[in-house]
């Protein structure tokens, strides 16, 4: 049976994934909107930067995050100056890292949805007298809804599956940075295969169900 | 279709590299992370004595290697930071030699952000110290000894909220080295390395505060019949190898006391 520690890791992981998904929908939507509609020269570089985590090993992100968040790094200095305390080995620290790590999984589906929608609905709204902001909220957002659902599912699922970055900057603290993936790793290293099975099997089932939901949904709606 | 040509060329190169390497013998070592610098040097010295042969060293936590070797990992010799893991492998039939003591390890306080050389464990209660890095006591022997030492001075419970856990002792040292943790309880063998020694001093934690870090190696079942593995094991007894180990702060076992 899973122990209290295992359950703590599960709850912590869910809390991390929810926080990161919410933040990413807030941060990712304007980025996706801009990427979908801009003709700027910056579109290529910004799109590439957002997508970097798809390609980079988690160790690269973990390494640079650790240095950046440390007392001599830019983010670390900023947080110290603002009196917010140190980021490494804290829940806030792994939230910041996960937002960066899961960014492409949220931005790309939303961007695709905005691009598929095209300019015409927004132009039509403008002709009918809607302000750009009103057009965005009453026309663009509802039309791109399937993209948002995909983005939320992928962002949530990807954050749950995070391991490398958290191992490097998390410090494995129970209730703060010891996620399910880290807990499984510890169980395996300590030869506690029984306990590892509970969590690992659970993750397998969960991941399958998430993807099943995603792909079944995609069959019904081919427009994203 | 230059892409197809490129693809075919790539596949050919891949297949060519799969062909068995010629003649030269090879030994693969799994070494506890505290050996990182010492074993690198020993491997270099061994290669000089055995030109043409290959030595490959993989570093990690002893607990991880113990698990991996149980599952048939292709390591020829396992240098554990804890004699216990070596005994377990022998008992499980995964080792072909009796565990051989090769060093006694020591733990130290080390910091990149403050002078640790005059510090004691009691100073860890200092409120300006917010994060203390130790190796994970669940599977890293150095972490286990750090826990024992903190318990011995009655600080284990009060310091709980400050502790962060490295996957192995090298990662723990790196947490402290990056300044992300204010201080770390790390292996003496890592603290005396140039990288760390140039950044900060260390304070030895009294050996009576924890059970001894008796480090032992075994030749694994995978290493059976590998002449180079036996040669490397024998090399650990030479003056050269022992000199390197001593330089990294390891206490060498008295031959007669070794079991």
A109, pLDDT greater than 90 = yes
Q: Is B120 on the interface with A (CB under 8 A)?
A: no
Q: How many domains does chain B have?
A: 2
Cα A180 to Cα A9: distance, rounded to the nearest angstrom: 5
Cα B146 to Cα B152: distance, rounded to the nearest angstrom: 10
Complex prediction ipTM: 0.73
What local confidence, expressed as pLDDT, does residue B250 receive? 93
Measured CA distances, A128 to A33, A135, A139, B254 (Å): 21, 10, 12, 91
The H or E element spanning position B214 is: strand B213-219
Q: Would residue B257 count as lying in a domain?
A: no
Q: Which domain holds residue B187?
A: 107-204
Q: Which residue among A67, A167, A172 sits closest to B178, beta carbon to beta carbon?
A: A67
CB of B121 closer than 8 Å to CB of B205:
yes
B166, pLDDT greater than 60 = yes
B78, pLDDT greater than 60 = yes
The H or E element spanning position B103 is: strand B100-105
Cβ neighbours of B114 in A, within 8 Å: none
What local confidence, expressed as pLDDT, does residue B64 receive? 87
Q: Are residues B77 and B136 in the same domain?
A: no
| pLDDT tens, residue by residue, A7-65 | 999 999 999 999 999 999 999 999 999 999 999 999 999 999 999 999 999 999 999 99
Closest CA to A155 of A203, A102, A116, A112: A102
Q: Would residue B14 count as lying in a domain?
A: no
Q: Are residues B124 and B161 in the same domain?
A: yes
Cα B40 to Cα B46: distance, rounded to the nearest angstrom: 10
> Is the CB of B164 less than 8 angstroms away from the CB of A89?
yes
Q: Is B139 on the interface with A (CB under 8 A)?
A: yes
Closest CA to B43 of B31, A199, B34: B31
Cβ neighbours of A186 in B, within 8 Å: 136, 138-139
Architecture category of domain A4-34+103-220 in CATH: Orthogonal Bundle (1.10)
DSSP B22: P
> Is the CB of A189 less than 8 angstroms away from the CB of B164?
no
- Could you tell me which residues are beta bridge partners of residue B165? B134
Residue of A nearest to B133 (CA): A171
CATH classification of the domain holding B128: 3.40.190.10
Cβ neighbours of B139 in A, within 8 Å: 186, 189-190
Burial class, B29, CB count within 10 angstroms (exposed 0-12 / middle 13-18 / buried 19+): buried
Q: Would residue B19 count as lying in a domain?
A: no
Average pLDDT, chain A: 90
Q: What is the DSSP pairing of strand B26-32 with strand B54-60?
A: parallel
> Is the CB of B181 less than 8 angstroms away from the CB of A88?
yes
B244, pLDDT greater than 60 = yes
A1, pLDDT greater than 80 = no
Greatest CA span in chain A, whole angstroms? 67
Chain A nearest C-alpha distance from B141 (Å): 12
Cα A180 to Cα A3: distance, rounded to the nearest angstrom: 12
Q: In chain A, where are the structural domains located? A: 4-34+103-220
């Amino acid at each position: 049976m899973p122990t209290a520690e295992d359950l703590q890791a599960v709850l912590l992981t869910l809390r991390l994934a929810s926080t990161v998904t919410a933040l990413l929908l807030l941060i990712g939507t304007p980025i996706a909107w801009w990427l979908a509609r801009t003709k700027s020269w910056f579109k290529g570089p910004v799109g590439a930067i957002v997508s970097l985590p798809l390609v980079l090993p988690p160790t690269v992100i973990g390494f640079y995050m650790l240095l950046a968040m440390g007392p001599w790094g830019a983010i670390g200095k900023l947080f110290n100056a603002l009196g917010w305390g140190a980021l490494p080995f804290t829940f806030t620290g792994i939230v910041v890292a996960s937002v960066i790590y899961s960014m492409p999984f949220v931005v790309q589906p939303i961007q695709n949805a905005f691009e598929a929608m095209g300019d015409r609905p927004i132009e039509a709204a403008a002709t009918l007298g809607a302000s750009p902001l009103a057009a965005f909220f009453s026309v663009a957002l509802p039309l791109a809804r399937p993209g948002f659902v995909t983005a939320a599912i992928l962002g949530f699922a990807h954050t749950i599956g995070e391991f490398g970055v958290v191992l490097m900057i998390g410090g494995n603290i129970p209730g703060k940075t010891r996620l399910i993936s880290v807990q499984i790793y510890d169980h395996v290293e300590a030869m506690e295969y029984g306990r590892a099975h509970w969590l690992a099997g659970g993750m397998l089932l969960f991941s399958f169900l998430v993807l099943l939901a995603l792909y079944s949904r995609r069959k019904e709606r081919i427009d994203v | 279709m230059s892409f197809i040509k490129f693809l075919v060329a790539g596949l050919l190169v891949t297949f060519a590299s799969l062909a068995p390497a010629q003649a030269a013998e090879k030994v693969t070592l799994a070494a506890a992370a505290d050996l990182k610098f010492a074993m690198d040097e020993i491997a270099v010295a061994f290669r000089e004595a055995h030109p043409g042969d290959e030595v490959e060293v993989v570093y990690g936590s002893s607990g991880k290697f113990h698990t991996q070797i149980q599952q048939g990992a292709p390591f020829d010799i396992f240098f554990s930071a804890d004699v216990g893991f070596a005994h377990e492998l022998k008992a499980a039939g995964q080792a072909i030699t009796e565990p051989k003591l090769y060093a006694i390890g020591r733990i130290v306080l080390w910091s990149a952000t403050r002078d640790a050389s005059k510090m004691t464990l009691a100073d860890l209660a200092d409120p300006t110290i917010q994060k203390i890095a130790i190796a994970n006591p669940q599977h890293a022997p150095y972490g286990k000894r750090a826990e024992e030492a903190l318990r011995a001075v009655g600080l284990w419970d009060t310091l709980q909220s400050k502790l962060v856990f490295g996957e192995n002792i090298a990662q723990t040292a790196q947490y402290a080295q990056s300044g992300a943790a204010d201080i770390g309880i790390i292996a003496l063998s890592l603290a005396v390395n140039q990288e760390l020694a140039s950044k900060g001093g260390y304070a030895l934690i009294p050996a009576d505060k924890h059970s001894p870090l008796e480090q032992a190696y075994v030749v694994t079942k995978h290493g059976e019949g590998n002449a180079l593995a036996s040669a490397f094991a024998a090399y650990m007894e030479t003056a050269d190898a022992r000199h390197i180990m001593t330089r990294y702060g390891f206490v060498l076992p008295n031959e007669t006391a070794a079991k």
